[in-house]
Amino acid sequence: MTSGPIGVFDSGIGGLTVARAIVSALPDVDLVYLGDTARLPYGAKSPLTVTRYASRCVGFLAAAGVEAVVVACNTASALALPALREAFPDLPILGVVSPGARAAVTASRTGRIGVIGTEATVRSHSYREAIHALAPTAEVVELPCPLLVPLAEVGWIDHPVTRLTLETYLAPLVRDHAIDALVLGCTHYPVLEGPIAAVLAALVPDRRIALVDSADAVTRELQALGLSLSLGGRRRFAVTDLPDRFRSMAEAFFGGGGIALEVVDL
């Protein structure tokens, strides 16, 4: 039986939240991460374009000999997953939407669930459909938050502009709808989890809203596949553009400096 690394891709730094969860659960497993930073963001692009970009990313990871791919991008998971599985039938490919939906249903006590994501993810209603498949009576409120990806990408985590942007997006959502769980429906958003939690606490101090991140849920699904994976704890990082910005975030996520980073042409 062959063995190889786990492959993870996203349009940028957001998938590092998923990669970190995988490494935390499986510290000895080899991992290849691809950030398609040249084509960021995916969330404002058409389904056809997202599928084309995602196919190139999976092709790169397949050529690297991975045993499975985690599509650590909600937009690509929502729009491209069936096409990717058809194009790479021998490669297990996991998305983040279904695991995130399951985690949301578990986290919600009332069945009133909010979802924030990119324009493309929200327009696809993929989370609403996945949640309703599990809990048909759930009330799902979806909200596109396109400005959050660039704020996360430039590292404006603890910044007044970020807080104001979050307040503008979230105030109508939490005041007009009595949600008790909020899906962070873009893997960039957990980078902003601290500010999101602070803004929610300020907006509705009398209500606890659980923040749902799909990273841990998709990691559990990956473990359940029972794959033969190469061990050694090796990490390979590649991007299609802007290596310096990505390097600083990757080093912050994985601790220490001096990570090896390739720039690849897809």
Catalytic residue flag (residue 73): yes
Which of 22, 84, 186, 229 is catalytic? The answer is 186
Q: Which two tokens stand for residue 34?
A: 């691809």
The fraction of the chain above a pLDDT of 90, given in percent, is: 85
Q: Name 82's Cβ contacts closer than 8 Å, sequence gap at least 6.
A: none
Q: Greater confidence, 148 or 258? A: 148
Catalytic residue flag (residue 57): no
Mean pLDDT of 244-262: 82
Looking at the whole model, is its pTM more than 0.75?
A: yes
3-state secondary structure of 9: strand
Which of 73, 103, 217, 218 is catalytic? The answer is 73
Contact 74, 117 (CB under 8 A): yes
The fraction of the chain above a pLDDT of 70, given in percent, is: 98
For 72-124, the pLDDT digits (tens) are 999 999 999 999 999 999 999 999 999 999 999 999 999 999 999 999 999 99
Query: What per-residue confidence (pLDDT) applies to 253?
Result: 84
Query: What per-residue confidence (pLDDT) applies to 258?
Result: 67
Question: How many Cα atoms are found within 13 Å in the side-chain-facing hemisphere of 109?
Answer: 6
For 168-200, the pLDDT digits (tens) are 999 999 999 999 999 999 999 999 999 999 999
CA torsion 251-201-138-14 (nearest 10°) is -10
| Domains contained in the chain, CATH given | 6-96+216-263 (3.40.50.1860), 98-214 (3.40.50.1860)
Q: Name 145's Cβ contacts closer than 8 Å, sequence gap at least 6.
A: 116, 117, 118, 169, 186, 189
Mean pLDDT of 52-81: 97
Query: What per-residue confidence (pLDDT) applies to 1?
Result: 55
Query: What per-residue confidence (pLDDT) applies to 257?
Result: 65
